[in-house]
């Protein structure tokens, strides 16, 4: 069966139906057919029959409102790697469009939100997420603002105490003649 799935992937590439990047060699011919169908669903609006079959309308929105809501939520969580201060939902960069298409394909293929985020993080690193998860490798990112605030409070308290102990000079020009 492995040879059949590889053959289906090769045929998909030959026909111009780029298999989705997340499909890491499907295990069966049936799943290869799903991958080819998901790839064909990503074709532009010039192919209305393909878009209707894939659950995407002529404007590129998913027909299922729940799936569209998941898509919008996921694209707001992912950072555009070109713009860096915009989500892929807001960016007009070509890469952001590719990432939106990839998220749409993965959702149509039945992937969970966590699988989509894990794929994007594995491929592009933690930077692609606006809110990286709380893990040992991201503790510095999450903790740095609190540590900086604590250091600032300590400095302010020490300076205030030091100034409180200083003698008050009642006469402004006492030592000058």
Which pLDDT belongs to residue 81?
A: 87
Q: What is the model's pLDDT at position 172?
A: 64
Q: Where are the domains of the chain?
A: 61-133, 136-165
| CATH architecture for segment(s) 61-133 | Orthogonal Bundle (1.10)
Three-class DSSP category at 136:
helix
Q: What is the pLDDT along the chain (177 residues), one digit of tens a residue?
A: 444 444 444 444 444 444 444 433 333 333 433 443 444 444 444 333 334 446 777 767 888 888 899 999 999 999 998 987 889 998 899 999 999 999 999 999 999 999 999 999 999 888 888 887 777 877 887 889 999 999 999 999 999 999 888 887 766 665 565
In our burial notation (b when 16+ CB lie closer than 10 A, e otherwise), range 138-149 reads eeeeeeeeeeee
Q: How many angstroms separate the CA atoms of 67 and 107, rounded?
A: 7
């Amino acid at each position: 069966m492995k040879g059949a799935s590889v053959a289906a992937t090769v045929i998909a590439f030959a026909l111009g139906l780029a298999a989705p990047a997340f499909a890491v060699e499907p295990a069966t011919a049936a799943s290869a057919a799903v991958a080819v169908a998901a790839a064909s669903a990503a074709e532009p609006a010039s192919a209305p029959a393909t878009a209707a079959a894939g659950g995407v309308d002529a404007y590129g929105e998913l027909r299922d409102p729940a799936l569209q809501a998941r898509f919008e939520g996921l694209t707001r969580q992912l950072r555009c790697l070109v713009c860096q201060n915009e989500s892929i939902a807001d960016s007009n960069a070509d890469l952001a469009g590719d990432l939106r298409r990839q998220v749409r394909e993965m959702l149509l293929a039945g992937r969970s939100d966590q699988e989509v985020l894990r794929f994007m993080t594995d491929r592009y690193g933690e930077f692609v997420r606006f809110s990286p998860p709380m893990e040992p490798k991201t503790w510095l990112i999450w903790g740095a603002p609190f540590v900086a605030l604590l250091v600032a409070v300590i400095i302010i308290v020490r300076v205030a105490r030091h100034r409180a102990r200083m003698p008050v000079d009642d006469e402004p020009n006492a030592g000058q003649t």
